[in-house]
Structure 1
Amino acid sequence: MSLPPSYPDPSEIMAAITIQDDPAERAKEGMKRIGECIVVMESEFRTIQDFVQWLDGQRVVRDVYGDVKLYASEWSGIHEAYTDLIQESQVTAHNLARELGYLVDVLLPISHNVNFQDALKEKAVDHYIKDLENFTEDAEKSRTRFLRIEKNVQNFQEKLTTALYASAGAPGNEGFANLEAVWREMENSNVRRVFYELEDRLSVVGRVWPILTADSEMLQRHLKDLRFAAGVLIFEKRVNSAKDIYDTFMASLDVYVSAVVAVKK
């Protein structure tokens, strides 16, 4: 079983996200690190899958009744849930990126157009804000699912470790002698380290949604606070002033979508 490629500690990833820099560049750098983290996680999932499949083949983990306990199927289920969530999040981010284009494709052009009534312009902004609010709800659901998967990985690791110790005294097992090969393989594959690092990376990647949600809410507040005052120039200034926030938001989304697409290939 091969080790997954090494990657900086997750704390380094979060440090990169908070560097003082141009907001759009900071967003891209932070999302790039998270994207690289996603790639490593795929290798970590496979490393653990290889180990539990090998472990099942040894048939040494037993319950209190002496019956063999198997783990590969359960781990596959956790990995599949993670893969589904990553793919769904890619679709969510991609769709949002397309919808966000409404600001530059529609709001900015009509802000320059004197033929559009003020009421129609306000309606267009309200529609845009509603799309952002819908994304915030979807992002919170994704964040909750990431937390659930992170917890499932932690529980699986704890349950497996407990079962290995308990198996030493289970009927049909002759103490730790029958489990020596298992402990040796765990050390050789560094699977325990991989478990802990996978948990850390899941925590980091799960933060992508609070980051994107913060951008979304900032853009919402900006557009809501700058209420329309009579005159085309005021509306144009209002929409143009949201452009910097939009650019940062889009930079994050673009890099995240690219990272997830790379994993799916």
Structure 2
Amino acid sequence: MRKVAPNLKTLHIDNANPGVIAKYPEESKKIAKIICKYHTPGDVAAFGVESADPKVIKENNLKAYPEDVIKAIEVLNEVGSRRGYNGLPELLPGLNFVFGLKGESKETFVHNFNLLKEILDRGLMIRRINLRQVIPLPGTKMYKVGEKIIKKHREIFKRFKKRVREEIDREMLKRILPLGTVMRDVYAEIHIGKITFARQLGSYPILVGIPGKLELNKFMDVKIIDYGYRSVTGMPYPLEINKIPIDTLEAIPGIGRKRALRIARARPISGEEDLFKILDDENMARMLIDLGISFK
């Protein structure tokens, strides 16, 4: 692929079988190293876990038990956790779960959460957790039972999903993109209210919210300053102090509305010494400088 398209900007894989990776770890490491040599960092190998409940695994002939999933994650983390040029780890697993399968019970949700919690507690990294409900199609074995199971567990599924977003997803984002990480080449796509939303090009891009209405349809670098459940908050990097909107300034931790207005009224700011005088707060000025500002 790289030979025929050497300037390809994004090259990612898709699915991977955790059972196979766990069974053949050394071979899988070699393959992962080859992928990391030629791909774009931020790549995701989507694991079809489907369920961590042994009963559901057996009744639906699934291919990986929880211990296999953990082993496969460890294999990919060993090779792919190194941070690439665009700010993201090279290659991490993503986990797909399906609810409404035969054999599902209230205990299924406990098994699934325990697997995610073990991954988090072991210090491992996964890029995404996809929680879906089965779609029973007429003429299939699932058609007779799937809809009944989904209806029976609808409220449990909602609570489970909320708990995963609050207790797992956000903590995992902090691990994948620590505060101060610079994400390269995020593309500004849309304004919603006073927020600009941007993403890197990729198969499963992380959503970045940037305070303020910035110019759309252009690439920029951002520095991570905060986290949502499945998204991050970033600031343009470097931060062009003489050009960025007041809403962007205001959103910087510790700045607030009054300091943002003071900075805006004092533009153009010529350099660090000028900034110290305007803010009259050495610590706050130093924080802005450390954030990475430009006086252009």
For normalisation by structure 2, the TM-score amounts to 0.21
The answer to which structure, 1 or 2, has the higher relative contact order (CA under 8 A, 6+ apart) is 1
- Looking at secondary structure, tell me which structure has more helix per residue: 1
TM-score relative to the length of structure 1: 0.23
Q: Going by fraction, where is strand more abundant, 1 or 2?
A: 2
